Structure 1
Amino acid sequence: MNKQNITKLKLFLMGLESRFSENCNIFKGIYVNYIAGLKEFKGSGVYEEGKIKYNFNGKTELMEINKLFSTISEEAEIYDSLTVLYRERGNDIVITADNKNVKMTTTEVKEEEVTQPINKSFNSYANHIGETSTLLNRDYYIKVGKADSLLKEIGIMTKEGKIKNDRIRKYNQIDHYVELLEGVLDQLPKNQTINILDCGCGKSYLTFVLNYYLTEIKKRKCFFIGLDRSEQVIEASRKMASNLGYRNMEFKALDIKEYTPDKKIHVVISLHACDTATDMALALGIRVDSDVIIAVPCCHRELLNQYSYEPFKGILKHGIFKARMADVLTDGMRSMMLEAKGYEVSTVEYISPLETPKNLMIRAIKTSEERPELMEDYIDLMAKLNVYPALYSFLNQW
């Protein structure tokens, strides 16, 4: 290749170097194809501990990204043309170069081939995943085809590329989860890494889904931290992240109260944490001044045996009414505390109450400083109900 186009090639490769340096966590691989006459010579590289493990002409070497691109440019001088495919999560970047021209194109990763073609119409899509009665007539956020690797890893899809019949309901739930969070997450700061903390992460399925959506669909730079006391589930999550190539995740086996962040936390998530574990997560989110706090509470036992309210004596003598009221008071007082701490709070149904009665999602966005007058209302309600909520306790302990 001539020197003029080698210079152009180097400029494009400098752009890729900058891209890699900015967010190497989404790099998937690089593939180089040189042509000399009728012969082809192929090289390929994969990520390894911040460097690229590159194989060319039977030789494998671990290189810094700038050394790799310098090597590619030098090799290009002795060939007629080359093609460089630089793969990221969600994007393919292709550079083609010869003696006439140098071009670079960026495309979103195309949907993988599936066992049957997917038409955009609802009926064809429903037929593809094998059941029509429980599908939603909507444009899914987590699409079959593009998200196949993710859906297979979390057990929603078969190896053959079909949504499992007994997992269609779960597929709908995870997609609705993304829908409920999209507008909230769009309000987070741009042009910086969004750090998301999942408290009591368990197997982290929804966190993997959110990672996929933010990284590959929304093109946001993000990093996820999962906390859980169980070393077993933490190891399972680490293995899934490794299988998927999700390097922008780390998992720690420890109690929420033991965690001290080493970076700004933008989002705190607590999904189905049992009883006061939700309060621990909310308290942590408030303590680290998280921009967004998301909670889907599970069982509510704490206030049931604490609260009393004389005007409702005739109603609360019935156990089922007292239990349901305890649920409302628990999540209602959680929302009040978040508002007192400067958050704008909304509560929505996460999934249908036909699925589970524990179906509320609390979404809180930090919009102001603490509001003392709302804290006074909270403390006054504590006195009237004769309760001492765990969230209040945790905030005063930390």
Structure 2
Amino acid sequence: MNKQNISKIKLFLMGLQNRFEENSSLFDSINVTYKSGLKEFNGTGKFDNNSIKFNFNGKTQSFNISSLFDFITLESKKYDEVFILYRERGTDILISADNNNVKMTNTEVKVNPGSTKINDKKEPLINNMSQTSTLLNRNYYIKVGKADVLLKEIGIMSKDGKIKNDKIRKYNQIDHYVELLDGVLETLPRNQVINILDCGCGKSYLSFVLNYYLTEVKRRKCHFIGLDISESVIESSKLMAKNLGYRNMEFHAIDIKRYKPDKNINVVISLHACNTATDMAIALGIKLESDCIIAVPCCHKEMLSQYSYEPFNGILKHGILKARMADILTEGMRSMMLEAKGYNVSVIEYISPLETPKNLMIKAIKTSDENEDIFYEYMNLMGSLNVYPALYDFLNEDWSS
């Protein structure tokens, strides 16, 4: 290939190098095809242990991005044509060159149309809770087709590209979760990495889905940290991240109170963390002065065993009413504490109560300094109800040791 076009290839590769260095976690692979007459010579590179392993002509070598592009450029001189496919999450970039022309094109990654089917039978999910879960007539944020690799890895989709009947409810839930967080995430600075901490992450489905959405749909830089006390679920999350090639994730089997972040945390999320584990997650978010705290609580045992209010004795003698009141008081006092700590709080219905009774979401966005009036009101309520909430206790504990 002539020197002029080799120089153009080198210029395009310099742009890709800058792209890689800006956010290497997006890089998936690089495929190079050289042509000389009717013969083709192929090379393939994958990220491995902080380097790129590039196989060409039966030989595998380790390169950093700069030395790899030098190698590819040098080899291009020997051939009539070269096609360089640089793949990152959600985007393919193709450089094609011959002696007449050099061009670069960007395309959104396409999925085989044969793998984009949704549940042919259109039947509702049938489980021990309800028969209400069907695919909804809505524009999904996590789209079948584009997100197939993700949906298959987290078990929502079958190998043949159909949403599993018994996972439709889960699919609807995680997609609605993304919808509710979309506006919140837009308020975060665009010129920095968004660090998201998932407390009590379990199998980390929401972190994987948010990672996909932020990275491949919104094109935002992000990093995810998953915490859970169970080593087995953490190992499962690590394996899924490896299978998906999501290198902007880390997972730790650790008690939330023992975790010490090495970076600024922008968002703390917690989904269905049992009983006071939700309070622990909220407390950590407050202690870290996180920009945003999102919690979808689970069971409420603590307040039920504590609270009493004499004017309501005639009502609270009914166990089911006392339990429901405990739920309201728990979420209400959590919200008050967040407001006292300077957060703008909204409590919304996360998903239909027909899907799950644990359907409230607390969204808190840091907007101001602490509010002493609300804190005083909170303390008075503690006395009136004869309660000592775990959130208050956690906030006053020293977690530094």
Q: In 2, are the aligned partners of 1:129 and 1:163 still within 8 Å (CA)?
A: no
Residues 1:283 and 2:297 are matched in the alignment: no
For residues 59-94 of structure 1, the C-alpha deviation after alignment (integer angstroms, 9 at most, x for no partner) is: 110001100001111111121121100000100011
Secondary structure (helix, strand or coil) at the match of 2:369 reads: coil
Q: In 1, are the aligned partners of 2:291 and 2:365 still within 8 Å (CA)?
A: yes
2:122 is aligned to: 131
For residues 212-232 of structure 1, the C-alpha deviation after alignment (integer angstroms, 9 at most, x for no partner) is: 111111111111111111111
Q: In 1, are the aligned partners of 2:225 and 2:251 still within 8 Å (CA)?
A: yes
Which letter does structure 1 place at the counterpart of 2:317?
A: K
List alignment gaps of at least 5 residues for structure 2: 125-133
Task: Spell out the pairing of 1:1-398 with structure 2 (5 A cutoff).
Answer: 1-115=1-115, 128-131=119-122, 134-398=134-398
> Partners in 2 of 1:275 and 1:330 — Cα distance?
10
Q: In 1, are the aligned partners of 2:35 and 2:80 still within 8 Å (CA)?
A: yes
Bigger drift between 204-213 and 294-303 goes to 204-213
1:121 is aligned to: none
Q: Residue 380 of structure 1: CA displacement?
A: 1.4
Which letter does structure 1 place at the counterpart of 2:283?
A: A
> Partners in 2 of 1:250 and 1:353 — Cα distance?
33
> Partners in 1 of 2:218 and 2:26 — Cα distance?
13
> Partners in 1 of 2:166 and 2:201 — Cα distance?
23
> Partners in 1 of 2:231 and 2:363 — Cα distance?
29
Q: In 1, are the aligned partners of 2:295 and 2:363 still within 8 Å (CA)?
A: yes
Change (3 A) 1:129 1:139: farther
Which letter does structure 1 place at the counterpart of 2:135?
A: L
Which letter does structure 2 place at the counterpart of 1:274?
A: C
Which letter does structure 1 place at the counterpart of 2:282?
A: L
> Partners in 1 of 2:112 and 2:16 — Cα distance?
25
Secondary structure (helix, strand or coil) at the match of 2:113 reads: coil
For residues 288-347 of structure 1, the C-alpha deviation after alignment (integer angstroms, 9 at most, x for no partner) is: 011110101000011112111222121112111111111000000100111111111111
> Partners in 2 of 1:22 and 1:324 — Cα distance?
50
Change (3 A) 1:301 1:92: same
Q: Residue 129 of structure 1: CA displacement?
A: 4.6
Q: Residue 44 of structure 1: CA displacement?
A: 0.8
Q: Residue 170 of structure 1: CA displacement?
A: 1.5
> Partners in 1 of 2:112 and 2:52 — Cα distance?
26
For residues 250-292 of structure 1, the C-alpha deviation after alignment (integer angstroms, 9 at most, x for no partner) is: 1100100000100011110111011111000000000001111
Q: In 1, are the aligned partners of 2:20 and 2:27 still within 8 Å (CA)?
A: yes
> Partners in 2 of 1:190 and 1:93 — Cα distance?
23
Q: In 1, are the aligned partners of 2:123 and 2:165 still within 8 Å (CA)?
A: no
Change (3 A) 1:397 1:171: same
> Partners in 1 of 2:71 and 2:256 — Cα distance?
47
Q: In 2, are the aligned partners of 1:197 and 1:224 still within 8 Å (CA)?
A: yes
Runs of 4+ off more than 4 Å: none
Bigger drift between 301-310 and 266-275 goes to 301-310
Secondary structure (helix, strand or coil) at the match of 2:143 reads: coil
Which letter does structure 2 place at the counterpart of 1:235?
A: E
For residues 115-153 of structure 1, the C-alpha deviation after alignment (integer angstroms, 9 at most, x for no partner) is: 5xx6xxxxxx75x55316512101111111111111111
Q: In 2, are the aligned partners of 1:346 and 1:364 still within 8 Å (CA)?
A: yes
Which letter does structure 1 place at the counterpart of 2:180?
A: L
Instruction: Indicate the percent of aligned positions where both proteins have the same amino acid.
Output: 70
> Partners in 2 of 1:209 and 1:380 — Cα distance?
41
Q: Residue 9 of structure 1: CA displacement?
A: 1.1
Q: In 2, are the aligned partners of 1:112 and 1:146 still within 8 Å (CA)?
A: no
2:131 is aligned to: none
> Partners in 2 of 1:171 and 1:112 — Cα distance?
21
Which letter does structure 1 place at the counterpart of 2:164?
A: K
Q: Residue 166 of structure 1: CA displacement?
A: 1.6
Which letter does structure 2 place at the counterpart of 1:333?
A: M
1:122 is aligned to: none
Q: Residue 111 of structure 1: CA displacement?
A: 2.6
Which letter does structure 2 place at the counterpart of 1:292?
A: C
Q: Residue 356 of structure 1: CA displacement?
A: 2.0
Q: Residue 32 of structure 1: CA displacement?
A: 0.6
TM-score w.r.t. the length of structure 1 is 0.95
> What RMSD, in angstroms, separates the aligned Cα atoms of the two structures?
1.3
> Partners in 1 of 2:369 and 2:102 — Cα distance?
53
> Partners in 2 of 1:305 and 1:39 — Cα distance?
77
> Partners in 2 of 1:54 and 1:130 — Cα distance?
45
Which letter does structure 1 place at the counterpart of 2:161?
A: G
> Partners in 2 of 1:271 and 1:114 — Cα distance?
34
Secondary structure (helix, strand or coil) at the match of 1:53 reads: strand
Which letter does structure 2 place at the counterpart of 1:55?
A: N
Secondary structure (helix, strand or coil) at the match of 1:286 reads: helix
Secondary structure (helix, strand or coil) at the match of 2:232 reads: helix
